[in-house]
Amino acid sequence: MSNLEANAVALGKEYQWFNEVIEARFTRYFQPAADAPDVQDLVPPDHAEGAGPYVDYLKGLADKIPQSDEGPVSHTEQVTAHRLLLLLALAPHLQPATLDVFFTKNTNFDRGFTEFGGLTGKQHGGFLPTGETALFLLAGGDLRRRMFFTGLFEESHFLYTENVLQLSGQKADEPFLSGQLTISNEYLTRFTTGDEFRPRYSSNFPAKHLQTPLEWDDLVLEAPLEAQVLELASWMSSEAIILGKWQMTRLFKPGYRALFHGPPGTGKTLCATLIGKKLGLPVYRIDLSQVVSKYIGETEKNLANLFNIAEHKNWILFFDEADALFGKRTATKDAHDRYANQEVSYLLQRIEDFPSLVILATNLKANIDDAFARRFQSILYFPVPGPLQRLELWENAFGENLPLEAEVDLKQLAREYEISGGDIVNVVRYCALKAAQRVREEHEKRAEEPPPKVIEAIRKIRKRDILEGIRRELRKQGKTV
């Protein structure tokens, strides 16, 4: 059975029970004299035989909730309450009509019942639950239970720190529980299709998953820099021992913060991507120049969202164009600056607290002040490669698939032209394009297939093209040759 089918079976049973719970709650609340079962006495479905991501999550749930016999609510009831909370948050996605009873009007006042809480959407026609809806469902009019279950909405509760649920959108000075209760996209995916959650870039999620077909051996760095990079990767693999086994959390915060600086095209992004590949962790890139300049209250929420997901999943965060952070902590001129400053301090704080690897990258090396530098465990400078590295880069880039004509002397090119790895890739791209054009023209010129020997000769990379490619790169950077 696929994950999707298994989830559908399990949640089908769950919602039957959920509907009974709602019915029982309404009857007990509005007709206390009627002989309706109490919500706590309705036995939730047993998934012992069930499977799939939703059932797996339920199986782990009891262990996450501390065992305690004190208080008005037993451990079993608490597990049940967590389950109802999940179903309530999922309901607008899976069983929206289930919540329609909450639209029932209070005829005394000709308006909805305050105790149901809830919101109506701008486009969605159904009932959107809030924290208040959840408390009504779990506690009805029982004040002790209501106070107890308020604990389900504390910020530090695992449902929020593990990014399962969110309670958001409260207005200042209004009751906290009037916030909307929503399920995160991550868990919505998990409890429906069951696919691995890979968020795509959006305003909600301003980060892009970085991947590369290249391997560690393709990275060309001078030995000291490579050693520093390896040290960083090895901290990440040893952290569990140092902080866990040796209990060094008093001295060190978990996680590692590194700053990569250096000219464009020197391998900063590539290196971050490869560190992720080596550690088996996904790397997400956030372009800070975009995030910080477009600041409107939303951005902070989106970043918070990103940090929450990343923290929990052990992702590596790669903040590109990090200079957007250095400059802004200056005197404010207008409201926009003030926002940007708020944003920057928020970001710096989250970066400092991030329990996994954060890498910031920038082209500027100046104006990194001491206060800023202190926040990083390492600051790595990526220089324009020297002649030896450039030779290796040229050789790797042409490889075996792009044979060179005899006049090409890569050693000489490497010696003469001080260009970066990124520039070399662009030159090789230009040469490959030129060779492909020659082959195409040869095909067009002849009525039949050209002899392989001819093709072999004309597809060879020409020195002339390489030099022209280099000139084009240098011209782009405002240099002449």
Ligand X SMILES: Nc1ncnc2c1ncn2[C@@H]1O[C@H](COP(=O)(O)OP(=O)(O)OP(=O)(O)O)[C@@H](O)[C@H]1O
Give residues in contact with Mg ion (CB under 5 A). 268-269
Token pair, residue 37, equals 């079962």
**Member of 264, 327, 386, 450 binding ligand X (CB under 6 A):** 264
In the complex with ligand X, which residue's Cβ is closer, 28 or 365?
365
| Dihedral Cα 261, 265, 266, 269, nearest 10 deg | 70
Binding to ligand X (CB under 6 A) within 373-392 occurs at 382
CB of 160 to ligand X, least distance (A): 35
Task: Tell the burial category of 428 from Cβ atoms under 10 Å away from its Cβ (0-12, 13-18, 19+).
Answer: buried
Cα 390 to Cα 149, 229, 311, 362, distances in angstroms: 64, 19, 38, 22
Stretch that binds ligand X, among 148-156, 251-259, 267-275, 403-411 (CB under 6 A): 267-275
Return d(Cα 278, Cα 74) in angstroms, integer.
Answer: 46
In the complex with Mg ion, which residue's Cβ is closer, 190 or 268?
268
Q: Which residue is nearest to ligand X (CB)?
A: 421
In the complex with ligand X, which residue's Cβ is closer, 215 or 298?
215
CB of 328 to ligand X, least distance (A): 20
Return d(Cα 388, Cα 221) in angstroms, integer.
Answer: 10
**Closest by Cα among 278, 305, 279 to 291:** 305
Is residue 258 within 8 A of residue 408, CB to CB? The reply is: no
- Which of ligand X, Mg ion, none is residue 219 near (CB under 5 to 8 Å by kind)? ligand X
Binding to ligand X (CB under 6 A) within 100-139 occurs at none
* Contact flag: residue 285 with ligand X (CB under 6 A): no
Return d(Cα 269, Cα 320) in angstroms, integer.
Answer: 8
* Contact flag: residue 425 with ligand X (CB under 6 A): yes
In the complex with ligand X, which residue's Cβ is closer, 390 or 459?
390
Q: Which residue is nearest to Mg ion (CB)?
A: 269
- Which of Mg ion, ligand X, none is residue 363 near (CB under 5 to 8 Å by kind)? ligand X
- Which of Mg ion, ligand X, none is residue 243 near (CB under 5 to 8 Å by kind)? none
**Closest by Cα among 348, 400, 402 to 375:** 348
Count the residues of the shown chain that bind ligand X, applying the rule CB under 6 A.
Answer: 17
Residues facing residue 127 across a β-bridge = 120
For 6-19, what is the HEC assignment? Answer: HHHHHHHHHHHHHH
In the complex with ligand X, which residue's Cβ is closer, 356 or 426?
426
**Member of 23, 77, 218, 418 binding ligand X (CB under 6 A):** 218
In the complex with Mg ion, which residue's Cβ is closer, 83 or 285?
285
* Contact flag: residue 265 with ligand X (CB under 6 A): yes
Stretch that binds ligand X, among 97-105, 193-201, 218-226, 340-348 (CB under 6 A): 218-226
**Member of 137, 138, 219, 292 binding ligand X (CB under 6 A):** 219
Residue 17: other Cβ atoms inside 10 A: 17
**Member of 268, 328, 350, 459 binding ligand X (CB under 6 A):** 268
DSSP 239-306: HIIIIIIS-GGGT--SSEEEEEE-STTSSHHHHHHHHHHHHT--EEEEEHHHHHHT-STHHHHHHHHH
The angle, 0 to 180 degrees and rounded to 10, between the axes of the packed helices 421-445 and 387-398 is: 30
By CB under 6 A, name the binding residues for ligand X: 218-221, 264-270, 363, 382, 393, 421-422, 425
